[in-house]
């Protein structure tokens, strides 16, 4: 008898080598898994997994080291860019990236992210912006939208009391040390493909020694937004994109020739 | 190599380089800044990593990252900067990666001042960061001793995958003394097998201080504790002089130990049988030697540039066998030999038990001195 | 005891720290134990700058002293600060160019040297510290003038090397001034 396996012996879709064979702890409908996969696919395609060192943050992706199949270190809250700097400076031939959420990167780690960009540190940052603190249970983040309800802004973010969301990509694009800064979104297939392209360019920026690179990814958090996964994707498209416009904010001219 | 006149901070930095330091990450702060400035010039010359970080917080986390690669890395700062680094130091300890941290101590608490002090004893010796961990603490008392101990610091950090603090005060950082530097050590050819270097042809390495399961955390705590007990057994270092026939023992570390040695010399000339125990490792503390001394001498005088922090450790070891007295200066004031000489004379003629707290009695004596200054 | 403690004090910029270092180098080059410790921090930037140098035949304990054997004071605040700390029978070297009072103590040996005027005669007012050092060497010959000159020529920063002959002249003039003043007194 011919098995199904023998018939379909041509593999068209499989786990990238850069991902570990394990289940994640992420909630249903969370786009962290998509972001992980995109990073893993890019590292596989570039053939740099074996020289890559990842830096995990504190936040929902605190266990990123379990899901990626490569050397990893785990930073203190907000300090991933500093830790990545330490790794990269003593191992300049290796590829180094951080994977950080909005609380980690834009609140407690604001100084570190700005200065790593200012120094033009040859590292790549994957920045997951879901406008909320996920791990601690849905508190207001530096990227929470005005009027958005969280457990620490129960009546909706009042800009009079707690200010406005921070646009990290726009701010970092002003840094001379930045080689590539882009914001993508994970709310549909089209945007996911674009996001992957941005991630590829970011790692290419690092491999070419063109300075700091970051891709901000608008991401969903149905659990803490208290809506369904599908509604969460709509929320990104309808509510987040107008506040956090998509696109490339800084591209080193040398990257223009790049075809990815 | 012959002796050169070397400035403390610069000599310590060069000694670190010669011990194989491949990464320095720091932030300017008096009185340790020359350390950073020296590294800024010297490390790039050698093709080694130097970063002036945006803060001490960033600096220690750069050290953390670089330490995870298995290379010898370090930072140097002064008291308030070390406070900022404490989070990262706890992470280093929890991750079991080696690092050397130099603290050129100044007056505090708070912003305090930039004058020499030893008020960080508790913070350094008892941990300072959160959680159960045990840093090794080295306290040299001269430029030469600090140069020598810098190599030891890196060796110990590697051997035990531990945080090693070298603590000196502003005097030591700023002074110049003749000293000889060791030859440049060769850098290791291969990283240790636990290091992150890229998982080429092997399973990935992961370095973290995270143990979500309390059971795993406890196993880790136990491992750290047992390693510490090994350190206590193997790595005690101290210097002593004149204790063979001593009736009075002075215990002091770093600059205060060194100043005491001047006073002791004069006291000996006056016929007072007094000797000095100067711990070089404050952690592990030279408990065994101190215990022996406490069975020999009539009285002990602890001298520090703080409010009596090592005094607690001395009392813990001496266990009331003999009276333990205290003399300290605080706030960035270095005691002078004549002050300690007066104390030695007083202690030598005092046959009474210390009634009550030695620290309380010292306060009474100090207030006269401080009152006189004001 | 074979230990000599020297404090050199003046305004920041008068070269007090450097002249202390020259002494320290000379001590080291001649097989002595030595410590040099500066005042540091804000004081370095415009205020009073002083350093303590201890020269000894034995290992040195404290790098600081309450009562130095010698104080070299280049300005009035320094004289006010150190006049009464110098040991009995110690030595006080006063820069008469910038200090317009005489000393009050009687149990010390002292000399007033118009160091700035002498330095200006040589052609470089910055040399006042070396004039004072020369005078000190006569008053407290813990190291000879030759030893100090040797040390200076070994350790002077390259950018100042061209001023070496002037430095030598300054030291010699300071030494000669002190010698002359004392020979007059004892004659």
Q: How many domains does chain B have?
A: 2
Top-level class of domain A25-252: alpha beta
The CA R_g of chain C, rounded to the nearest whole Å, is 15
Q: What is the DSSP letter of A29?
A: T
pLDDT(B6) > 60: yes
Instruction: Encode chain B in three state secondary structure.
Output: CCCEEEEHHHHHHHHHHHCCCCEEEECCCCCCHHHHHHHHHHHHHCCCEEEECCCHHHHHHHHHHHHCCCCCEEEEECHHHHHHHHHHHHHHHHHCCCEEEEEEEECCCCCCCCCECCCCHHHHHCCCCCCCCCCEEECCCCHHHHHHHHHHHHHHHHHHCCEEEEEEEHHHHHCEEEECCCCCCCCCCCCCCCCCCCCCCCCCCEECCCCCCHHHHHHHHHHHHHHHHHHHHHCCCEEEECCCCCCEEEECCHHHHHHHHHHHHHHHHCCCCEEEEEECEEECCCHHHHHHHHCCCCEEEEEECCCCCHHHHHHHHHCCCCCEEEEECCCCCCCCHHHHHHHHHHHHHCCCCCCCCHHHHHHHHHHHHHHHHC
Residue B268 and residue B229 share a domain: no
Residues, chain C: 187
Task: Return the CATH number at B299.
Answer: 3.40.50.920
Residue B121, min C-alpha distance to chain C (Å)? 20
Residue B228 and residue B295 share a domain: no
Q: At A208, is the secondary structure helix, strand, or coil?
A: coil
What the block records as the tokens of A176 is: 């001379």
Residue B325 and residue B341 share a domain: yes
Q: Which of B219, B234, B249 is the last residue of a domain?
A: B234
Q: At A51, is the secondary structure helix, strand, or coil?
A: helix
Crossing angle between the packed helical segments A80-90 and A110-118, to the nearest 10 degrees: 30
**Chains that contact A by 3+ CB pairs under 8 Å?**
B
Residue B276 and residue B228 share a domain: no
CATH 3.40.920.10 matches C4-186: yes
- Tens-place pLDDT, residues B215-232: 999 999 999 999 999 999
Query: 10 Å Cβ neighbour count for B288?
Result: 13
Q: Which residues of B touch C66 (CB under 8 A)?
A: 336-338
Distances (CA, A) of A39 to A181, A184, A196, A203, C107: 16, 13, 7, 9, 82
Among candidates B301, B303, B306, B308, which has minimal Cα distance to B359? B308
Asked if C40 and B170 come within 8 Å (Cβ–Cβ), the reply is: yes
Task: Return the CATH number at B222.
Answer: 3.40.50.970
Residue B208, min C-alpha distance to chain A (Å)? 5
Cross-chain CB nearest to B64 (options A50, A83, A115) = A83
Cα nearest neighbour of B142 on chain C: C61
Average pLDDT over residues B140-169: 98
Average pLDDT over residues A31-50: 98
Between CA A223 and CA B312 the distance in angstroms is 52
Q: Which residues of B touch C157 (CB under 8 A)?
A: none
Q: Which residues of C touch B174 (CB under 8 A)?
A: 37-38, 40
- Tens-place pLDDT, residues C149-180: 999 999 999 999 999 999 999 999 999 999 99
Contact B177/C at CB under 8 A: yes
Residue B41, min C-alpha distance to chain A (Å)? 16
Specify the pairing of strand B73-77 against strand B176-179.
unpaired
Physical contact, A and B (3 or more Cβ pairs within 8 A): yes
CB–CB of B205/B195 below 8 Å? yes
Average pLDDT over residues B231-244: 98
Per-residue pLDDT, C13: 84
Per-residue pLDDT, B373: 64
Q: Phi first, then psi: what are they for A22, rounded to 5°?
A: -155, 160
What the block records as the tokens of B221 is: 């705590």
Average pLDDT over residues B150-161: 98
- Tens-place pLDDT, residues B69-104: 999 999 999 999 999 999 999 999 999 999 999 999
pLDDT(A198) > 70: yes
Domains of chain A, by residue range, sit at: 25-252
Contact B171/C at CB under 8 A: yes
pLDDT(B1) > 80: no
Residue B293 and residue B204 share a domain: no
CB–CB of B317/B287 below 8 Å? yes
Among left, alpha and beta (phi > 0; psi -120 to 50; other), residue A97 is beta
Residue B95, min C-alpha distance to chain C (Å)? 37
Class of residue A215 by CB neighbours under 10 A (exposed 0-12, middle 13-18, buried 19+): buried
- Tens-place pLDDT, residues B41-64: 999 999 999 999 999 999 999 999
Sign of CA dihedral B305, B110, B34, C74: negative
Q: Which of B181, B202, B234 is the last residue of a domain?
A: B234
**B and C: number of Cβ contacts within 8 A:** 71
- Tens-place pLDDT, residues C74-111: 999 999 999 999 999 999 999 999 999 999 999 999 99
Nearest 5°: the CA angle A210, A216, A220 is 160
With a pLDDT cut of 70, the percent of chain A lying above it is 97
Contact B367/A at CB under 8 A: no
Residue B227 and residue B82 share a domain: yes
Residue B289 and residue B142 share a domain: no
Domains of chain C, by residue range, sit at: 4-186
Residue with tokens 């834009």: A106
- Greatest CA separation for chain B: 72
- Consecutive H or E run containing A71: strand A71-74
Residue A78, min C-alpha distance to chain B (Å)? 10
Contact B183/A at CB under 8 A: no
Q: Which residues of C touch B178 (CB under 8 A)?
A: 28, 33-34
Between CA C116 and CA C128 the distance in angstroms is 5
pLDDT(A4) > 80: no
Q: Which residues of B touch A119 (CB under 8 A)?
A: 51
- Tens-place pLDDT, residues C20-58: 999 999 999 999 999 999 987 554 455 679 999 999 999
Residue B217 and residue B357 share a domain: no
Instruction: Output the average pLDDT for chain A.
Output: 96
Domain with B67, as residue range(s), is: 4-234
Residue B226 and residue B247 share a domain: no
End-to-end, the C-alpha distance of chain A in Å comes to 43
Between CA C132 and CA C112 the distance in angstroms is 10
How would you label A31-43 residue by residue, b for 16+ Cβ within 10 Å and e otherwise?
bbbbbbbbbbbbb
Between CA B179 and CA A232 the distance in angstroms is 68
pLDDT(B372) > 70: no
Distances (CA, A) of A250 to A200, A247, C84, C89: 15, 9, 68, 75
Q: Which residues, in sequence order, are bridge partners of residue A102? A: none
């Amino acid at each position: 008898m011919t098995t199904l396996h023998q018939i379909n012996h041509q593999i068209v879709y499989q786990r990238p080598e850069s991902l570990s064979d394990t289940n994640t702890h992420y909630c249903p409908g969370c786009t962290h898994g998509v972001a992980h996969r995109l990073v893993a696919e890019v590292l596989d395609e570039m053939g740099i997994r074996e020289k890559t060192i990842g830096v995990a943050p504190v936040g929902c992706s605190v266990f990123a080291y379990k899901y990626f199949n490569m050397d990893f270190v785990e930073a203190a809250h907000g300090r991933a860019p500093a830790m990545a700097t330490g790794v990269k400076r003593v191992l300049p031939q290796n590829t180094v990236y951080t994977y950080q959420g909005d609380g980690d990167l834009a609140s407690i780690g604001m100084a570190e992210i700005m200065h790593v960009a200012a120094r033009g540190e040859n590292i790549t940052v994957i920045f997951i912006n879901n406008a909320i603190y996920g791990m601690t249970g849905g508190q207001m983040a530096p990227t929470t939208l005005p009027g958005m309800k969280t457990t620490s802004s129960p009546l909706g973010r009042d800009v009079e009391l707690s200010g406005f969301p921070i646009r990290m990509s726009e701010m970092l694009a002003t840094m001379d040390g930045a080689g590539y800064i882009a914001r993508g979104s994970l709310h549909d297939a089209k945007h996911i493909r674009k996001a992957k392209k941005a991630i590829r360019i970011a790692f290419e920026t690092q491999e070419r020694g063109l300075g700091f690179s970051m891709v901000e990814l608008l991401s969903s958090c149905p659990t803490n937004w208290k809506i369904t996964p599908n509604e969460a994707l709509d929320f990104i498209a309808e509510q987040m994109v107008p506040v956090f416009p998509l696109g490339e904010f800084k591209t080193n001219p040398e990257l223009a020739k790049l075809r990815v | 190599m012959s002796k050169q006149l070397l400035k403390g901070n610069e000599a310590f930095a060069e000694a670190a380089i010669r011990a194989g330091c491949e990464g320095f990450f720091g932030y300017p702060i008096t009185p340790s800044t020359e350390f950073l400035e020296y590294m800024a010039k010297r490390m790039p010359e050698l093709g080694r990593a130097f970063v002036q970080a945006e803060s001490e917080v960033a600096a220690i986390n750069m050290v953390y990252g670089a330490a995870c690669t298995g290379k010898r890395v370090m930072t140097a700062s002064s008291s308030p900067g070390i406070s900022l680094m404490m989070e990262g130091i706890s992470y280093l300890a929890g991750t079991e990666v080696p690092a050397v941290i130099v603290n050129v101590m100044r007056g505090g608490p708070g912003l305090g001042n930039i004058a020499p002090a030893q008020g960080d004893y508790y913070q350094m010796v008892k941990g300072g960061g959160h959680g159960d961990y045990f840093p090794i603490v080295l306290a040299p008392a001269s430029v030469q001793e600090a140069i020598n101990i810098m190599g030891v610091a890196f060796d110990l950090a590697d051997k035990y995958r531990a945080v090693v603090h070298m603590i000196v005060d502003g005097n030591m950082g700023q002074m110049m003394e003749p000293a000889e530097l060791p030859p440049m050590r060769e850098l290791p050819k291969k990283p240790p097998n636990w290091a992150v270097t890229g998982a080429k042809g092997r399973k990935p390495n992961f370095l973290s201080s995270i143990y979500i399961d309390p059971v795993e955390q406890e196993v880790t705590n136990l491992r750290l504790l047992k390693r510490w007990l090994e350190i206590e057994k193997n790595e005690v270092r101290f210097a002593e002089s004149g204790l063979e026939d001593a009736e009075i023992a002075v215990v002091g570390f770093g600059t205060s130990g060194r100043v005491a040695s001047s006073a002791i010399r004069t006291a000996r000339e006056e016929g007072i049988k007094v000797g000095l125990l100067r711990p070089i490792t404050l952690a592990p503390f030279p408990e065994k030697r101190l215990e022996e001394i406490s069975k020999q001498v009539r009285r002990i005088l602890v001298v520090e540039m703080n409010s009596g922090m090592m005094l607690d450790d001395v009392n813990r070891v001496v266990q009331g066998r003999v009276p333990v007295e205290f003399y300290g200066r605080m706030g960035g004031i270095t005691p002078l030999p004549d002050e300690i000489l007066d104390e030695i004379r007083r202690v030598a003629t005092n046959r009474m038990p210390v009634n009550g707290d030695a620290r309380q009695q010292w306060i009474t004596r100090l207030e006269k001195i401080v009152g006189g200054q004001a | 005891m074979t230990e000599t403690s020297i404090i050199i004090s003046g305004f920041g910029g008068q070269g007090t720290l450097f002249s202390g270092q020259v002494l320290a180098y000379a001590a080291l080059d001649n097989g002595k134990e030595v410590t040099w410790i500066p005042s540091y921090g804000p004081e370095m930037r415009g205020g009073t700058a002083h350093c303590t140098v201890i020269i000894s035949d034995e290992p040195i304990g404290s790098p600081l002293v309450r009562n130095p054997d010698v104080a070299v004071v280049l300005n009035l605040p320094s004289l006010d600060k150190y006049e009464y700390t110098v040991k009995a029978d110690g030595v006080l070297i006063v820069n008469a160019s910038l200090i317009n009072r005489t000393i009050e103590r009687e149990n010390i040996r002292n000399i007033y040297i118009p160091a700035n005027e002498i330095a200006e005669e040589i052609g470089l007012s910055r040399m006042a510290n070396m004039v004072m050092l020369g005078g000190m060497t006569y008053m407290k010959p813990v190291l000879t003038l030759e030893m100090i000159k040797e040390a200076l020529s070994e350790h002077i920063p390259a950018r100042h090397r061209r001023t070496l002959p002037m430095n030598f002249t300054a030291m010699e003039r300071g030494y000669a001034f002190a010698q002359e003043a004392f020979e007059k007194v004892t004659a």
